[in-house]
Structure formats: C-alpha cells, structure tokens
Structure 1
Amino acid sequence: MTPLIFAFKLLIAVPVALVLALTAIWYIWESGNTVLYDSFAQKMFAGLENYGLLAIPLFMLTGEMMNEGGMTRRLINAARVFVGGFRGGLAYINLLANMFMAAIIGSATAQIAVMARAMNPEMEKEGYDKGFAAATTAAGGLLAPVIPPSMMFVIYGVLAQIPIGEMFLAGVLPGILLAGSFAAVIFLVGLVTGFPKGEWFTRDEALSALLHCLPAALIPIAIVGGIVFGIATPTESAAIASLIAFLIGWLVYGELKPSAFIDMFRRTAVNSSMIIFMIAAANVFGWVIIYEALPQKLAALITSVTSDPLLFLLIVNLVLLFVGMVIDGIAAIILISPILLPIAMNDFNISPYQFGVVMCLNLTLGLLTPPVGVGLYIASSMSGVSAGRILKSLWPFLLAVTIILVLLSAFPWISNFLTE
C-alpha cells in the first residue's frame, strides 16, 4: 500500500518534501511500529546535522551578490576577449561565460535565468536565431551541476557520505569534456546555418575587459583553488566566496547596494530552505527504504538481468532519464541515491564518484525536457520564445550530453582520475 500512496502523491503534484515525510508517517502507521513517531522530529533534524549543507545557502548567496554587483557582465566581457572574434563568437562567449558562472553559482536553474537575461538579447541583436540563442543559454546551464562547485554534488556527497571536495574534483574533467562537446555543436551548427562574424576587441579594449574582470575572477579561484589545494573545505570556500563577492560588488565595482541585502537574503533563505527541508524529509523516508529492504530487492532484480557494470549504468541512465522528466533533479537525487548507490557500489563495484557524476548530469537533463522542464520554461519566459522552438534548436546539445553520459559510464577514469 505504501508504494501506491507514494506514487499517488507524486502524481497529484504534492511537493516532494511533503511526499517523503507523509509517506514515512503512513508507513509507520501501516506497519504498527508507532513508537517511531516519538523520534520522527528528531530523525528529521538529524538529517540536517551535516556541516557540508551550509555550502548550499552560501553558494546561493554568492550568486545573488554577483548578479547585483555587476560581476556577471564583466565575466561575459572577459569571455569576449578569448572567443569573441570567431564566426559565431557570441555563441562561444555564451558557452565560455556559462563555464565561468558554473564555477560560481552551482545551480542550473539560477544560471539559466542569469545568463538568459545577459546573453539572449545580445545574440538576437546580432542576428542569431531566437530559438538557438535560448537553446545555447539553456544548454550552458547543464554545466552548473558538473563543474565545481555544484549544489547537486553537495547534496549527493552528504547522502553518499563521501568528501564533498573530492566529489567536486570528480566533476572537473567531465565538465571540461561537456563544454568541449557543446563547442563542437556550436561549430557544426554554424557550418550549416552560417553564424554572424564576430569582432575581436582592440588591444586596449581587451586589456580593459580583463583588468575589470580580475576582481570577479577571484571568486572561482577562491572556491576551486581552496578545495583543490586543501586550504579550505567546500563550505569554508563558499563562505569566503560570498565575502569576496560582497567586498568586490560593494567596494570595487560600487554596484552592490546595502539596500539590496534584505531581498538577497530573503531569496537565498527561501530557495535554500526548500532544498534543506527535502533533505530532512528524506532522512525519515529512509525508514521506508530500510524496513522494506528496497536496495536489496532491486539489486536482486538487476543482478538477475546483468552482472556487467557498463550495462548496469546504461540501464540506470535510461531510468534516470525518465525520472528526471517528471521529478526535479535535486528531489530525484534525494529520492534515488539511497536506493541505487548501494547497488552500484556493492554489487557492481562502481566508484561513488563516477556514479554521482553520471547521476547528477543525467537528472539535470530533466530541466530541459518536458513535461516538467523547469530550465526549459525559464529560458522560454526570459527570452519570449516558445518552449517548442527552443527544443527544436536544443536537440544537438541533448545528443552531445547523451554521448558524454555514455563515455562517463564506459570510462570510470574520467570521473575518478583527480580523486585517486
């Protein structure tokens, strides 16, 4: 009965956090083990007693301060210095700026919203197809869950009980590979459609753009460098990054006004609390998973089909693709990790880092695929282009992600190289 209740609540669009908590309550009542009610609140709170979760609101706050402080615009200008003169230069600028932003924001939806406001009007003004401009921006958002720091990696690391810093390192090579595949898509589409010719900055303009960007570049350097060199934990790096963003936006660029703080803190609190509540609810949902022995039952079913790790990952990819189409990526990570990760590690000897990168990237595809497609509809509303028109231009990028997912599944060293 419990699985039916769980599925029914998901189908009628009950918020995932409530689905998890209410399913646990129903299961306790149905099983007759009502003594668990006494520790229900304690179990929820215990799910939040993890230092790594502090990184979530801190990374969100860093992104808010960057937007308000004018740093996003300066990073885009810096990207123009390196790729702006190529044919289709603005498309490459969009991609490179998305890489910069992915190393700061860590959230695909936030990144799509920010970059759509900044890049889509510029691309349309220079003659790019509106659908392609929106599709390029939306695809660039897929870099956020892979290039560190990634909010999904933080949540996965907490659930998998692995070092978040090493999880970040696992995403470096896949993130570069994914960005390279998107550049190849832009190049091939440009050959077919004929992009507008870009213009290089003059030497003085290039120097000016790079100099103005240097303070903003301290933020990704502080985040990634602090983690890679062991100077700071991911949470400490997030705190340092938010402090740097505040100081640069306020004192250096002069665009971050104290009057904007209340709205920034409110947005950060609302957005992060939804995620953290889901994690707390997932902790009590763990009772259902434990008492029903779901990982063990699923493992027995899958191992009866195959003993090949690659085939297992391909099956998981297919399942996750459908899950990501109907459930938000972060919610899906919280739901699925406790079930599939033990099977991957214990029955197929798959590294938790490889599995985490594959799962996070796959579930993020759901942001750009109907029927949920939150990222797709954000790109649509920001650009004024229909979701169908964006999808028409988006499919080459989605094909590139599919190829990268197969490579990540087939070659574990891509994810594990920097963690070993």
Structure 2
Amino acid sequence: MTPFVFAFKLLISVPVALVLSLTAIWYIWESGNTVLYDSFGQKMFSGLETYGLLAIPLFMLTGEMMNEGGMTRRLINAARVFVGGFRGGLAYINLLANMFMAAIIGSATAQIAVMARAMTPEMEKEGYDKGFAAATTAAGGLLAPVIPPSMMFVIFGVLAQIPIGDMFLAGILPGLLMAISFACVIAIIGFFQGFPKGDWFTRKESLAALLACLPAALIPLAIIGGILFGIATPTESAAIASLIAFLVGWLIYGELKPSALFALFKRTAVNASMIVFMIAAASVFGWVIIYEALPQKLAALITSITSDPFVFLLIVNCVLLAVGMLIDGIAAVILITPILLPIAMNDYNIDPYQFGVVMCLNLVLGLLTPPVGVGLYVASTMSGVSPWQIFRSLWPFLLAVAVILVLLSRFPLLSTALI
C-alpha cells in the first residue's frame, strides 16, 4: 500500500518534502511499529547534522550578492574580451559567461534566470533569433550543476557520505567537456544560419574590462582554489566566497549596499530552507527504503538483466531521464541516491564519483524538458519567448549532453582523473 500512497501524492503535486514525510508516517502506521513515532523528529534532525550542508545557503548567498553587486555584468563584459570577435561572438560570450557564473552560483535555475535577463535581449539586438538566444542561455544553465560548486553535488556528497571537495573535482572535466560540446553546437548552427560577426575590443577596452572583472574573479578562485589546494573545505570556501562577494560589491563596485543585506539574507534563508527540509524528510523516508529492502529487490531485478556496468548505467540514464522530466533535480537526487547508489557500488563496482556526476547531469536535463521543465519556463518568463520556441532551438544542446552522458558512463576516468 505504501508505494501507492507515495505515487499518488507525487501525481497530485504534493511538495516532495511532504511526500517523503507523510509516506514515512503512513509506513509507520501501516507497520504497527508506532514506537518509531517517538523518534520521528529526532531522525529528521539527525539528517541535518552534517557540516557540509552549511555550504548550500552560503553558495546561495554568494549568488545573491553577486547579482546585487553588479558582478554578473562585469563577468559578461570580460567574456567579450576572449570570444567577442568571432562569428557568432555573442553566443560564445553567452556560453563563456555561463561558465563563469557556474563557478559561482551552483544552481541551474538561478543561473538561467540571471543570464536570460542579461543576454537574450542583447543577442536579439544583434540579429540572433530570439528562440536561439534564449535556448543558448538555458543550455548554459546546465553547466551550473556540474562545474563546481554545485548544490546537487553537495547534497549527493552528504547522502553518499563521500568528501564534497572530491565530488567538486569530479565535475571539472565533465563541465569542460559540456562547454566544448556546446561551443561546437553553436559553431555548427552558426555555419548554416550565418551568425553575425562580432567586434573585438580594442586593447584599451580589453584591459579595462579585465581589470573591472578581476575582483569578481576572486570568488571562483577562492571556491575552487581553496578546495583544490586543500586550504579550505567546501563549506569554508563558500563562507569566504560570500564574504568576498559582499566586500567587492560594497567597497569596490559600490553597488551592494549594507542596507540590502537583510533582504538578501531573508531570500537566501527561504530558498535554502526548502532544500534543507527535503533532506530532513529524506532521512525519515530512509526507514521505508530500509525496511522494504528496496535496493536489494531492485538490485536482484537489474542484475538479472545485465552484469555489465556500462549497460547498467545506460539503463539508469533512461530511468533518470524519465524521473527528471517529472521531479525537480534536487528532490530526485534525494529520492534516488539511497536506492540506486548501493546497487551501483556493491553489484557493479561503479565509482561513487562517476555515478554522482552521471546522475546529477542527467537529472538536470529535466529542467529543460517537458512536461515540468522548470528551467524552460524560467527562461521563457525572463526572455519573453514561448517555451516551445525555446525548445525548438534547444534540442541540439540536449543531444550534445546525451552524448556526454554516454561518454561519462563508458569512461570512468573522465570523472575520477582529478581526484
């Protein structure tokens, strides 16, 4: 009966955190082991007693401060220095700026919202198709959950009980591969559609743009450099990054006022609390998974189909793609990791870092695919382009991600080389 209750609540659009909590309550009542009610609250709280989870609100706060402090605009301007003069230069600027933002924000939805507002009108002014402009921005948002820091990686690391810093390192090569594949897509489309040629900055303009960007560039350096060289943990790096974002926005750029901090803190707290509540609810939902022996039953089913780790990952990719189309990526990570990760590690000897990268990248595709497609609707709202018009121009980018997913599933070294 419990699986039907779980599925029914998901279908009627009950928030995922409540689905997890109420399903656990139903299971306790159904099992007759009502003593578990006494430890329900304690179990939820214990799910949050992880130091790494502090990184989530801190990375969110960093992104909020960047937007408020004018750093996004300067990063876009700096991207012009490197790729602005190529044919289709503004599309490459969009992609490169998304890479910069991915190394700071860590949330695909937030990144799509910021970049769609900034880049789509600019591309339209220079003669690009509005649907393609919005699609390029939306596709660039897919870099956020892969290029560190990534909130999905933080959550996966906590659930899988592996070092979050190493999980971040696992995402660097896949993120670069995605960026290169997106650049190839832009080049091919530009060849057939005849994109307008961009203008290179003069030496003086280039120097001014890079100097203006330097303080903002301290943020990704602090995050990635701190983790890479073992100077700070991901949580400490997130705290340092938020402090740098505040000081740069206030003292150097002069666009972030201390009076705006309360609103930023409030917005961050509201957004972070939704994610944290889902993680707490997932802890009690673990009772259902443990007592029903769900991973063991699923492992028996899948191992009867194949013993090849690559084929297993292809099956998982198909399942995750369907799940990602219906459930938010972060919620899906919380739901699926406790079920599929033990099978991947114990039955197929798959590295948890490889599995985490494949799973997070696959699930984030759901942000841009119907019927739910939150990222698609965010890009549509911010750019004023219909979701269908965006999706028509988006499919080559999604195809590129599918190819990257197959490569990541086939070659573990692409995820584990830097660890």
Please state how far the C-alpha of 1:161 moved relative to its aligned partner. Answer: 0.1
Corresponding residue of 1:225? 225
Corresponding residue of 1:310? 310
Residues 33-52 of structure 1 correspond to what in structure 2 (within 5 A)? 33-52=33-52
Residues 217-256 of structure 1 correspond to what in structure 2 (within 5 A)? 217-256=217-256
The two structures, once aligned, show a CA RMSD in angstroms of 0.4
* Distance in structure 1 (CA, Å) of the matches to 2:250 and 2:257: 7
Deviations 1:283-334, CA, capped at 9 Å, x for gaps: 0000000000000000000000000000000000000000000000000000
Residues 49-128 of structure 1 correspond to what in structure 2 (within 5 A)? 49-128=49-128
Deviations 1:332-352, CA, capped at 9 Å, x for gaps: 000000000000000000000
**2:7 is the counterpart of 1:7:** yes
Which ranges of structure 2 fall in alignment gaps of 5 or more residues? none
SS at match of 1:256: coil
* Distance in structure 2 (CA, Å) of the matches to 1:323 and 1:267: 28
* Distance in structure 2 (CA, Å) of the matches to 1:329 and 1:67: 23
Corresponding residue of 1:405? 405
Which ranges of structure 1 fall in alignment gaps of 5 or more residues? none
The amino acid that maps onto 2:140 is G
SS at match of 1:200: coil
Q: How many residues align?
A: 419
Corresponding residue of 2:261? 261
Please state how far the C-alpha of 1:70 moved relative to its aligned partner. Answer: 0.4
Please state how far the C-alpha of 1:202 moved relative to its aligned partner. Answer: 0.3
SS at match of 2:418: helix
* Distance in structure 1 (CA, Å) of the matches to 2:408 and 2:116: 28
SS at match of 2:417: helix
* Distance in structure 2 (CA, Å) of the matches to 1:163 and 1:42: 25
* Distance in structure 2 (CA, Å) of the matches to 1:363 and 1:126: 33
Residues 10-409 of structure 1 correspond to what in structure 2 (within 5 A)? 10-409=10-409
* Distance in structure 2 (CA, Å) of the matches to 1:258 and 1:385: 35
* Distance in structure 1 (CA, Å) of the matches to 2:417 and 2:116: 34
Please state how far the C-alpha of 1:263 moved relative to its aligned partner. Answer: 1.5
* Distance in structure 2 (CA, Å) of the matches to 1:34 and 1:180: 55
* Distance in structure 2 (CA, Å) of the matches to 1:68 and 1:161: 34
* Distance in structure 1 (CA, Å) of the matches to 2:78 and 2:174: 23
Tell me the TM-score normalized by structure 2. Answer: 1.00
Deviations 1:382-416, CA, capped at 9 Å, x for gaps: 11110000000000000000000000000000001
* Distance in structure 2 (CA, Å) of the matches to 1:94 and 1:259: 31
The amino acid that maps onto 2:111 is Q
Please state how far the C-alpha of 1:147 moved relative to its aligned partner. Answer: 0.2
* Distance in structure 2 (CA, Å) of the matches to 1:58 and 1:267: 12
Deviations 1:258-283, CA, capped at 9 Å, x for gaps: 22212211110010000000000000
Deviations 1:10-38, CA, capped at 9 Å, x for gaps: 00000000000000000000001110000
* Distance in structure 1 (CA, Å) of the matches to 2:210 and 2:195: 26
Deviations 1:94-115, CA, capped at 9 Å, x for gaps: 0000000000000000000000
* Distance in structure 2 (CA, Å) of the matches to 1:267 and 1:352: 33
Deviations 1:34-75, CA, capped at 9 Å, x for gaps: 100000000000000000000000000000000000000000
The amino acid that maps onto 1:58 is L
* Distance in structure 2 (CA, Å) of the matches to 1:34 and 1:192: 66
* Distance in structure 1 (CA, Å) of the matches to 2:372 and 2:331: 13
Tell me the TM-score normalized by structure 1. Answer: 1.00
* Distance in structure 1 (CA, Å) of the matches to 2:259 and 2:83: 36
Using the aligned pairs only, state the percent identity: 84
* Distance in structure 2 (CA, Å) of the matches to 1:302 and 1:392: 35
* Distance in structure 2 (CA, Å) of the matches to 1:391 and 1:228: 37
The amino acid that maps onto 1:244 is I
SS at match of 1:418: coil
The amino acid that maps onto 1:382 is M
Please state how far the C-alpha of 1:212 moved relative to its aligned partner. Answer: 0.4
